Amino acid sequence: MGILSRSPRAATIRRYPLVTIFTVMAVGFLLQACGTVDPQLGRDQRPPVAVNPGPSSPSNEASPYAQYDVVGLASWYGKPYHGRRTASGAVYNMNHLTAAHPTLPFGTLVAVTNLENGRTVVLTINDRGPFVPQRIIDVSRKAAGQLGFLGQGLTRVGMKVIAPSQG
């Protein structure tokens, strides 16, 4: 190779500039389509699975889930995350009554009720998740034990915000 010869890579890029441009554009569109971000909140916006229609709705009295803001699946997480930092910056402790929610502000208190056995626990949101469709909350190992679904891994729950974040 002489001093004036080009590298094979440079020749390939010059030969196929449109392919390179379209590839970059396609990757950009795919990344943009992965999620929507509310510019004011700066986090993912996901619709709740079931929303309480409010006190003025006639269907509110008929629904057995009317006392909950959201009804859906809950899962729990424990040992692999124990001692790691959560999205809020707090250290995750699987023996505390905490939970992960996709959008609620950190510090929000929620009452979570296992709809299969009626057990209820109050949790503090300190992490983000779950990242699986149809799941509305990830609870700590201790919360799953108190709710009675530690052995199952998943259960149907009702969730209600009882105190907004103070921060």
State pLDDT tens for residues 13-68: 556 666 666 666 666 555 554 444 334 333 333 444 444 444 444 444 556 667 78
pLDDT at 66: 73
CA 52 to CA 69: how far, in whole Å?
5
pLDDT at 7: 56
| pLDDT above 80: residue 2 | no
* CATH number, position 122: 2.40.40.10
| pLDDT above 70: residue 96 | yes
Q: Which helix (H) or strand (E) holds 141?
A: helix 141-147
pLDDT at 44: 39
30 and 67 together in one domain: no
Task: Supply the mean pLDDT for the chain.
Answer: 78
22 and 81 together in one domain: no
129 and 94 together in one domain: yes
Domain count for the chain: 2
pLDDT at 38: 39
pLDDT at 67: 78
Six-digit token pair at 67? 């006392």
| pLDDT above 60: residue 118 | yes
At residue 8, the 3 state secondary structure works out as: helix
State pLDDT tens for residues 40-51: 333 333 444 444
The percentage of the chain sitting over the pLDDT mark of 90, rounded to a whole number, equals 54
Six-digit token pair at 98? 């905490």
- Which residues form the domain of 22? 1-34
24 and 71 together in one domain: no
Six-digit token pair at 97? 């009554």
Start-to-end C-alpha separation, the chain: 65
139 and 67 together in one domain: yes
67 and 148 together in one domain: yes
Asked whether residue 41 is assigned to any structural domain, the reply reads no
